[in-house]
Structure formats: C-alpha cells, structure tokens
Amino acid sequence: MTAATTVPNLSSRRAWAATAVLSASLLVVTMDMTILNIALPTMSRDLRPSGQQLLWIVDVYSLVLAGLLVAASSVADRWGRKRALLTGYLVFAVASLLVLVADSAGQVIAIRAALGIGGALIMPTTLSVIRTIFADARQRAKALAIWSAIAGLGAAVGPLVGGFLLEHLSWHAAFLVNVPLMVVAVIAGAFLLPESRSPSPGTWDWTTIVLSFGGMVALMWSIKKFGKESSLAVPSAWAVFVIAVLVLTVFVRRSLRQADPMLDIGLFRIRPFTGGITAALGSMFAMGAALLLLAQWLQSVDGSSAIATGLKLLPLAVASAVASLIAPRAAEAIGPRAVLAGSITSAGIGMIVLFVVPGDLGYGTVVASLVLVGAGIGSLAVGSVLIMSGSPEHRAGNAAAMEETSYEVGSVLGVAILGSIASVVYRAQLDSSSQVEALPSAVMDPARESIGAAVDVAEQAGLPQLADVAGHAFTESMQTTSLIGGGIMVAVAVIVWFVVPKGTTLEPAEH
C-alpha cells in the first residue's frame, strides 16, 4: 500500500475556510468559460477579427486548458498543490490584466491561451486539495458538494455577469473582473491553504506530456470543428480526429505499460470511479447543450436582453446548487448509485419536457426544463465524491485531472453534437416554409446560418415574416434536439446504474 499524501492536520474551521477559497477561485474560472460569449459582439466591433481569429478567441482557452490538465496535475503533485494553485491564480490575474494593452485579435488570443494555462493549474488542483484536507468521508462529501455547486453556478452566472458588465463598461471588463478576485484568492490561499504533495506522483515523462497535450487538443479541435460546420463531411476535422485517436491510443498504451505512470489509466478498473466519470461526462453533455440552445432561444426568439437572458437562466444554477448540497445526504440514505442514475434521468426528462409540452413554447416550460436539468447536474457532487474517494490518495491529482477532462469533453460533445443536430433541423424547417421561399439568396443564405443572423437580416431588410419563420424553425429545432439529448441522458443513467456496484458508499475505497 502506497504511503498517503502528507498534509498538516487542519482544524475544522481552517479546512472549511480553505474550501471557501478553493470554491471561490473555481467560480472565477468557470465564469470565464461563459462570460466571453456575451462580450464577443462588442469585442468584434472594436478589434475586427477575422472569422478564424474569432474562433480561436473562443476556442483557445478550452483547448489549452484540456490539453494541460494531465501535466498541470502532475506538476502540482510534485511541486506542491498550494504552490501550483497560487501560481495558477497569479497567471490568471496577470493574463487578465494584460487585456489593458491588447489592441489586436492576436493579442487577445494569446491572453486567452495564458488564461487556459492558469485554469489548468487551478481546476484539478482544487479537487485534489479537498481530497487531502478532509479525512472524514462525510465532511469531504459536503466539501465536494459545495465545490460542485459553485462549478455549476459559475457557468450559469457567467452570462449574467457578462451582460451587466457590457451594459455599463467596455468588453475589457469581461477580463478585468478576474483580477481583484484572483488577487484576493492569492492572499487568502497563502494563509489558509496547506501544502501537500504526492509521495508517489508517477514518473515524469515528457513523451506522455506531449502525447496527452497533442491528443486532447486535436480531439477537442476536431469535435468543435464538426460542431461549427454542422456536418460530418469535413475532411480536415476527420483528419485531425483520426490523429487524435491514434495519439491518445499511444498515450493510453504507454501509460498502461509503465510500472509507475504519470497518469494512472488503471483507475478505470475501479467501478465507482468509472461511474463517477461517466456521470460527470453525461451531466456536462446536458448542461453545455441546454445553456447554448436556451440562451440563443431567449435572446433571438423570446427577445430578451443579455442581462435578462442571464436572469432567466438562473433557475438552472439555483436548482444545481440546491441539488448538489442535498445529493450527498441522499446518497447516504439510498446509495450513490441511485442518486447518480436518478439525477441524470432528471436531466434527461428536463430536456424532453421542451419537446412533449403541448402548444407554443413559453418561459414557464423553459423554467421547468431548467430546474430538472439543474437538479440533474447536482449528480456531479456525488460523482465527484466517488471519483475522488474511489481513487488512492496519492493519485488524487490523476483523479482530478480525469474528472476535469470529462467536464471539458462532455461540454464540447454536447455543444457539438446537439448543436449540430439543431442547426440541421433549423435549416430544414426554414427551407420548408412557404412564407420565405421567394426571398432572395442574399437574404436567405445568412438566415440559414443561425437564428441570430436571421433576426439581424430580418431587421435590416424590414422582413418581420422572416424573423417569425426563423423563430418557429429554431424553436422546432431546439425541441427536436432536446428530445434526442434527453434520450441520450436517460441512456447514460442506465449505464451509470450498471457500472456503479450495488452497495457502493461514499466512504473511501481500500486500495
């Protein structure tokens, strides 16, 4: 049995104060994933980026973050998790501050890449620190529930904060808001966080780092490319996808052959761990797609402003936070397997509700959907406990990196797959309408690209019937997509039910 990670004995008060610092810093990172979407239109008018530059501004953050998760968690295990976190906070703050001198799209891309580096140091390390500072399983479950609630809250609150900032300040504020928060995190973290290292962090292997970074970046890029083109007939995306599969296959085989690997793929032999990863992947699949489609519907069809859209999406964040806090106690009563499977089923039903409710889609139905999906995302709390408690303590960094990777990949898959289906159905519905078939291609071509473009074109050309038809087409596409996504979520729930062994508890497993 490997020696446990050494960490000073903390008082209960200091351990919970440390959890507050970790959760607050996570809030900033998860907000940053969604806040930029609100700032993009204003930023585009100011910087005039090309189409490719605009895509890189959006994508480079998640590409760098996902690619560096394995290396960053390994650095934290060796160098010290507190040091890695404080370094991540500083990188995030400095990169955000540099936006004051950014006057080109290329510089913003570089800043977003640096934010990805900071995020990679922060996100998995917050999890591994919580794993080490709480010896009691119940306290750890509560701490991870708070962590999970904050993660969901940040993603949902991002658009609201972004909308508020953009109505009063320039697009630079979407970056600068990070600076004071991260400075506070550095100061509080220096006093409250304990230092810990893994006594067996695995062999440092540059080949493994290159393979994991290259494979993850290629995988994420190809999935995003398919999603943006809304088609599988994209040769460049297929080529990169094949490369990603080959590189990641080599990475996995290399890790399995090593006696002391940098990333312990063997953790997937632990069924509760695998069930938790599956739950995280599936939950983020639902959340990513639900936020994307519903945010577009609220702004372009319902006519809500940026701030109003953020407010109207809050039921998802509130439901997610409440479910996250309730989930550990429910898991003690009926078992984590039932809570995980039931929560993901709830998310699936929430997506299906948008399809099955008769009549025109109204905000009341949207609220019901958001609450059910948010309750489903609460499964991340119990999933996190199974992932972290189901892995050896000296592999806390590995487990955290894999969980964060599942969040990233799940969100990208949800947006790409369900977003692509929505685009295909939207175009088919728009093209089948007799009300717009006589309109010229100069009007219809951009309208087919997205609901936002259709509304803009309709306004410029004075064609209210186009906006009306496009709105109905997008609503139909969102409802059809929600039915498909909901069915996938229910299937994920069934998989989790059979993967997590009967009788599993939240107590740490023996290794």
Q: Find out whether 209 and 55 touch, Cβ atoms under 8 Å.
A: no
pLDDT level of residue 508 (50, 70, 90 thresholds): low
| Spatial contact of 414 and 291, defined as CB atoms under 8 Å apart | no
Same domain? For 459 and 320 the reply is: yes
Per-residue pLDDT at 511: 52
Q: At what angle do helices 105-133 and 51-79 cross, to 10 degrees?
A: 30
pLDDT at 491 over 80: yes
Nearest in space to 4 (alpha carbons), one of 143, 138, 200: 200
3-state class (DSSP) for residue 178: helix
- In which residue are the tokens 């991260």 written? 182
Residues 411 and 427 occupy one common structural domain:
yes
Domain boundary among 263, 297, 314: 263
3-state secondary structure of 89: helix
Q: Is 112 helix (H, G, I), strand (E, B) or coil?
A: helix
Same domain for 368 and 441? yes
Query: CA-CA distance, 250 to 193, in Å (whole number)?
Result: 37
Residue 362 φ then ψ, to 5°: -120, 170
Query: If you average pLDDT over residues 53-70, what whole number do you get?
Result: 81
Contact criterion met (CB below 8 Å) for 194 and 7: yes
| 83 or 58, which is more confident | 83
Question: 177 with 239, same domain?
Answer: no
pLDDT digits (tens, 9 = 90+) for 442-470: 777 777 777 777 777 777 777 778 888 88
pLDDT digits (tens, 9 = 90+) for 340-388: 899 889 888 988 988 887 667 888 888 898 889 888 877 777 887 788 7
Residue 290 and residue 389 in one domain: yes
In this model, does residue 336 exceed pLDDT 80? yes
CA dist list (Å): 117 to 72, 94, 351, 397: 8, 12, 33, 16
Residue where a domain stops, chosen among 151, 167, 202: 202
pLDDT at 149: 72
**Percentage of residues of the chain with pLDDT beyond 70:** 91
Q: What is the mean pLDDT of residues 231-248?
A: 88
Nearest to 329 by CA among 373, 293, 382: 382
Q: What is the DSSP string of 351-373?
A: HHHHHHS-SS--HHHHHHHHHHH
Would the pLDDT of 2 be above 50?
A: no
Q: Which residues pair with 6 in a beta bridge?
A: 197
pLDDT band at 3 (very low <50, low <70, confident <90, very high): very low
CB of 111 within 8 A of CB of 98?
Answer: yes
User: How far is it, in rounded angstroms, from Cα 14 to Cα 308?
Assistant: 38
Measuring CA to CA, which residue among 136, 134, 121, 135 is closest to residue 80? 121
Q: Tokens 């990670």 appear where?
A: 5
Beta bridge partners of 197: 6
pTM: 0.79
CATH of residue 188:
1.20.1250.20
The pLDDT of residue 89 is above 90? yes
What is the mean predicted confidence (pLDDT) over 296-318?
A: 80
What's the CA gap between 120 and 122, in Å, rounded? 6
* Gap between the Cα atoms of 8 and 161, Å rounded: 37
CA neighbor of 282 nearest in space, from 409, 386, 370: 409
Instruction: Identify whether 1 is part of a domain.
Output: no
| pLDDT above 80: residue 39 | no
pLDDT band with cut points at 50, 70 and 90 for residue 53: confident
The secondary structure of residue 505, as a DSSP letter, is -
**147 and 211 fall within a common domain:** no
Compute the residue count for the chain. Answer: 511
User: Is 232 in the same domain as 190?
Assistant: no
Residue bearing the bigger pLDDT, 478 or 94: 94
In terms of domains, do 174 and 222 share one?
no
Rounded to the nearest 5°, which phi and psi values hold at 138?
A: -70, -45
> Which pLDDT does position 92 carry in this prediction?
92
Q: Does 463 fall in a domain?
A: yes
- In this structure, which amino acid lies at residue 430? L
- Examine the domain organization and report whether 131 and 244 are in the same domain: no
Say yes or no: 173 and 208 in one domain. Answer: no
3-state SS track over 125-151: HHHHHHHHHCCCHHHHHHHHHHHHHHH
In a domain, 2, yes or no: no
Of 128-142, 212-226, 265-279, the range with the lowest mean pLDDT is: 128-142
Q: Is there a domain that residue 161 lies in?
A: yes
Asked if 156 and 317 count as a contact pair (C-beta separation under 8 A), the reply is: yes
In this structure, the answer to whether residues 30 and 118 fall within a common structural domain is: yes
pLDDT classification of 90: cutoffs 50, 70, 90: very high
Range of the domain at 50: 7-202
- Token pair in block for residue 115: 């934010």
Query: How does residue 439 score in pLDDT terms, banded at 50, 70 and 90?
Result: confident
Count structural domains, the chain. 3
With tokens 């493994």, the residue in question is 208
- 328 and 460: one domain? yes
Locate 319 and state its tokens: 């439901």
CA distance 372 to 347: 5
Helices 206-229 and 51-79 meet at what angle, rounded to 10? 150
Of the residues 202, 217, 236, which one is the last residue of a structural domain? 202
